[in-house]
């Protein structure tokens, strides 16, 4: 977790206020920085408490609490907040229930001007389900940094959509029996060409709109992200990933994640004959994250139950991603994050190599949980 970045940001803001002649209260308090990414039901965000107008000596004990608003009153939300390290930060697991808002507070005691004082700070947090747009970078080496910069600043100006952000580097990951090379598996699914390889680094938005490195700009990335059709209101298939709170260990992170695939508004649910569910994991390397695992989890035992959606029969698929069963290490920590992608295949005739039937993959749904980091 990048504590130095948060501290530097707080100092810069204070200096700007001073330079602008703004009056700044000398009252000591805690300023809470809240992660912008992952603000969806069941997901996890990091919250960091920054001391303002006092210097901690390292002996402070931080007390965290969280409440939810039921429309009339604030109520305690137990079992969802996990202090980290020295207690100056905490991981908050957002409830599966979409409450209107949450209220988080941090308190401590510190010596200020020779007196022991109670010091605190609070923040209101809003969260809701948002459709994920697959933003996938393909490159031969880790040299295309513009999308990373765009992604880091995403939370400042986006509200309706959230990125499913993965970088694929050719030859980065070894292929095993039950896995696919992430680069080869995804670029061939998008390009639909045998042995496909881009001539220069490029970004694909939901497997459709493309931006090459030579054409890349913040404006272009924003436009593609906003404009690409992901089936909202029609064939989009919502994927929900929720932490299994009972599997959270001493580090405040779970080892199991519950995944739910919902049907679209027409009641069309998971079709195991024509659809695949992929787990994609990324690992921190060289100052960025690169996908190192691409696993077809459709082969895992799935618990299937019937549900009703707008009066039409649909199929809801539920399954658990268990780190101990997958055997690939952590899915989520400071150095890893993951996502689940639902891909459907539509047959199409082609004259390539004679009469051939090519299955055109389409991203039907995607959901990502990013590494808990208050800088995002």
What average pLDDT score do residues 14-19 get?
41
Q: What is the pLDDT of residues 250-280, one digit of tens each?
A: 999 999 999 999 888 888 888 888 888 999 9
Q: Which of the four pLDDT bands, split at 50, 70 and 90, describes residue 11?
A: very low
**Domain match, 188 and 283 both:** no
**Domain match, 356 and 252 both:** yes
Complete DSSP assignment for 3-27: HHHHHHHHHHHHHHHHHTT------
Let me know if residue 273 belongs to a domain: yes
**Domain match, 222 and 251 both:** no
Residue that is last in its domain, among 168, 198, 227: 227
Measured distance CA(24)–CA(18) in Å, rounded: 7
Let me know if residue 375 belongs to a domain: no
**Domain match, 92 and 147 both:** no
Q: What is the mean pLDDT of the chain?
A: 83
**Domain match, 110 and 136 both:** no
Residue that is last in its domain, among 94, 125, 156: 125
**Domain match, 142 and 257 both:** no
* Residue span of the structural domain in which 165 resides: 132-227
Let me know if residue 177 belongs to a domain: yes
Q: What pLDDT sits at residue 182? A: 85
CA distances from 163 to 76, 134, 155 (A): 31, 6, 10
**Domain match, 137 and 121 both:** no
What average pLDDT score do residues 314-334 get?
89
Q: Number of structural domains, the chain?
A: 3
State both tokens at 123. Answer: 């923040």
Let me know if residue 376 belongs to a domain: no
* pTM for this model (two decimals): 0.85
**Domain match, 323 and 212 both:** no
Q: What pLDDT sits at residue 75? A: 97
Q: Which residue has the higher pLDDT, 221 or 350?
A: 221
DSSP summary character for residue 218 = H
Let me know if residue 232 belongs to a domain: no
**Domain match, 186 and 83 both:** no
Let me know if residue 201 belongs to a domain: yes
Q: What pLDDT sits at residue 241? A: 97
Beta strands (DSSP E) in the chain are 29-34, 44-52, 63-69, 74-76, 81-84, 89-93, 102-112, 115-125, 132-139, 162-169, 202-205, 209-212, 239-243, 256-261, 275-285, 288-296, 303-309, 312-322, 336-350, 356-369
Measured distance CA(218)–CA(222) in Å, rounded: 6
349 strand-pairing partners: 357
**Domain match, 14 and 113 both:** yes
Measured distance CA(339)–CA(259) in Å, rounded: 10
Let me know if residue 140 belongs to a domain: yes
Residue that is last in its domain, among 227, 258, 286: 227
**Domain match, 258 and 333 both:** yes
Let me know if residue 222 belongs to a domain: yes
Show the CA angle centred on residue 266, arms to residues 261 and 270, nearest 5°. 30
**Domain match, 74 and 24 both:** yes
């Amino acid at each position: 977790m990048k504590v130095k970045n948060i501290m530097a940001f707080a100092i810069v803001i204070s200096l700007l206020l001073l330079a602008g002649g703004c009056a700044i209260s000398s009252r000591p308090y805690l300023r809470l920085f809240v992660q912008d990414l992952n603000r969806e039901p069941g997901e996890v965000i990091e919250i960091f408490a920054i001391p303002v107008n006092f210097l901690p000596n390292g002996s402070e004990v931080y007390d965290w609490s969280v409440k939810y608003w039921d429309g009339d009153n604030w109520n305690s939300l137990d079992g969802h907040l996990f202090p980290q390290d020295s207690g100056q930060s905490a991981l908050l697991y957002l409830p599966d229930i979409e409450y209107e808002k949450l209220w988080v507070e941090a308190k401590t005691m510190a010596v200020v001007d020779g007196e022991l004082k109670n010091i605190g700070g609070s923040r209101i947090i809003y969260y809701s389900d948002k459709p994920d747009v697959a933003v996938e970078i393909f490159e031969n080496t880790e040299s295309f940094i513009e999308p990373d910069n765009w992604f880091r600043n995403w939370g400042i100006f986006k509200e309706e959509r959230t990125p499913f952000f993965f970088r694929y580097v050719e030859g980065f990951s070894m292929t095993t029996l039950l896995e696919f090379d992430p680069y080869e598996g995804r670029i061939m699914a998008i390009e639909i060409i045998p042995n496909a390889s881009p001539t220069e680094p490029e970004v694909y938005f939901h497997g459709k709109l493309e931006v090459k490195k030579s054409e890349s700009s913040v404006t272009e990335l924003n436009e593609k992200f906003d404009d690409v059709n992901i089936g909202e209101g029609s064939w989009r298939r919502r994927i929900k990933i929720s932490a299994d709170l009972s599997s959270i260990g001493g580090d405040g992170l779970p080892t199991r994640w519950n995944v739910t695939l919902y049907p679209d508004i027409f009641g069309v649910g998971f079709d195991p004959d024509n659809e695949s569910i992929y787990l994609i994991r990324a690992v921190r390397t060289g100052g960025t994250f690169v996908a190192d695992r691409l696993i077809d989890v459709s082969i895992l035992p799935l618990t299937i139950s019937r549900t009703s959606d707008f009066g039409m029969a649909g199929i809801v698929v539920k399954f658990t991603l268990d780190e101990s069963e997958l055997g690939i290490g952590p899915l989520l920590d400071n150095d890893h994050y993951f996502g689940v992608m639902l891909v459907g295949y539509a047959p199409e005739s082609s004259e390539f190599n004679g009469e051939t039937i090519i299955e055109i993959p389409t991203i039907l749904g995607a959901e990502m949980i990013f590494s808990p980091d208050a800088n995002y």
